[in-house]
Every structure is written in C-alpha cells, then in structure tokens.
Amino acid sequence: MKTAFITGAGGYIGTQTSLTLAKEGINIAVCDISEKSVKATVDKVNASGGNAKGYVAGVTDLKDIESAIRKAAEDFGGLDIMVHIAGGSARIAGGRYVPLVEQEESVIDRVLKVNLYGAFWANRAAAKIMIEQGRGGKIINFASAVGINGLANCCDYAASKGGIM
C-alpha cells in the first residue's frame, strides 16, 4: 500500500485531497501546523474507511518538517507521494492586502517562507527518503494561477506561487 504525506492537510483543499487519495487505498500522513486541524482531517479520513495518521509540523522549520516526514515514513513503512499544499497570503502573517510599497517586511518574509521555502523544505525531506528507499516516488506541489496572472496587492503571494511553478 502506498503512502502520501500531505502538508496543509488541515485546510479545505488538503482535507479533500486526503479523502480523495484515501479512497484510492493510499495511506495518508496528515500534516498541518494546527493540531486541531490535523485531528479533524485524520478523523474524516478514518471515518471514510481510509487509514490516516496525524503530524503537527510547520513547513517553515526545516528540522520540524524533516522530522514529521521521516516519522510518517517510519510509521507507514515508506513514503511514495509528497503533496505540498501548505501556503497562504498576507492574512497568515497578520497583514493586509496592500500595494508592495506599503507591505510590511515581516508579512513579505512570512508569505515567502511558508509558500516558497516551505515547498523546498518539504520536498527536500521527502526526496531524501524516496532516494533512500530506492523505488522513487511522486512529488506534487500546489500553486495558484496568481503565480502567472498576478493579483493586485498580493505581490508577495504571486512571487511565491510563481516560484513554485
């Protein structure tokens, strides 16, 4: 049986992705920064007949996300699929949607760390395990059309999603 590790699995898109993959018989490692959200998604997946376990970790902390991914691979006997969904815009950093010249440095920094660095750290940790296993795997990154088209007052978000693409 294959195993998928899903970041941002506590949000709507992450929960739906978890449920969809579980219906295909894939073990689900639910990861989010919110313990409450992790538990809610794990409960939904398991109630639907799937097999899920939860991992609370932040994608901006390399050691934290590496540890969670490694633990999930140990718990499920391997890792086959990495789905990186975790992300957000100015509101995750307590900011407002304003023109770039007005945006606070701390908001820009947080958005880039979650959206862009988070993808690097999660994918890097998963790839290490997949290479060690010697059987390959799949890495899927969610982005946004905003990374191509842009969006007024969301330059940081657009740049980070464009970077993922």
Assess contact for 30 and 55: CB atoms under 8 A.
yes
Q: What is the C-alpha separation between 134 and 136, in angstroms, rounded?
A: 6
Catalytic positions, please? 157
CB atoms within 10 A of CB 160: 27
